[in-house]
Amino acid sequence: MSSTIAGLILAGGLSRRMGGEKPLKLLAGQPMIKRVIGRIAPQVERLAINANSDPAPYLEYGLPVLPDTIGGHLGPLAGVLTGMEWAAELPGVTHLVSAATDTPFLPLDLVARFSAISGPGRIVLARSNGNRHPVVGLWPVALREDLARWLASGETMKVQVWAARHDPVFCDFEPEHDGAPDPFFNANTPGELAEAEVFLGRFGS
């Protein structure tokens, strides 16, 4: 655990494909966001949730619930900016690590692996099996003003496009063991949620 890194769970999406509040969908008998919290909380000093809906269901986890500081449902980058602005107020915090609420197999060594290749102004993004996962990243808090200007410009809300301006590095991850799911498996739809249930039934936590 690093006292310089805060964490943010991105739960601010509209969940159209899931047909409801995706973070609260049950997976192995518990809300999916609870599982994600359990995997990332031990890795960071402070943790918050980025959510733009009713905060009440999220407050029960005892974490700050942060709505986007920029309106218009601009996507994950708006959530990252919100988290960076929150983290900037925390003593000693220099970086924010973000994770999606639909990644129930998030690596337990995510922050340690990111930290090993991070730097003062370096963005680190996750990659597995050749696929990039731009919403799972390590963000220098010092870049928050640049990100705010980018979002205000309205050029594009794609995470990778903005990150590319800062020469990011990628951290490669593998499944925990043979037959295990991709560490960044997304449970975006009811079918994928059912698939995650199968993985958990087969391999446990």
Distance (Å) of CA 19 to CA 55, 74, 115, 154, 163? 18, 20, 36, 28, 30
Range of the domain at 17: 2-203
- Per-residue pLDDT tens digits for 31-41: 999 999 999 99
* CATH classification at residue 175: 3.90.550.10
Binding site residues, as ranges? 10-12, 22, 50, 68, 102
Binding site residues for Mg(2+), as ranges? 102
Q: Is 139 helix (H, G, I), strand (E, B) or coil?
A: strand
Binding site residues for GTP, as ranges? 10-12, 22, 50, 68, 102
Q: Say whether pTM exceeds 0.85.
A: yes
The two structure tokens encoding residue 106: 């998030």
What total number of domains does the chain contain? 1
Roughly what angle, to the nearest 10 degrees, separates helices 76-87 and 144-153?
150
Q: Would you write out the chain's pLDDT as a tens digit for each of its 205 residues? A: 445 999 999 997 655 445 457 899 998 889 999 999 999 999 999 999 999 989 999 999 999 999 999 887 789 999 999 999 999 999 999 999 999 999 999 999 999 999 999 988 899 999 999 999 999 999 999 999 999 999 998 777 899 999 999 999 999 999 887 778 899 998 888 888 888 888 887 766 5
Determine the residue type at 115.
Answer: S
- Per-residue pLDDT tens digits for 58-107: 999 999 999 999 887 789 999 999 999 999 999 999 999 999 999 999 99
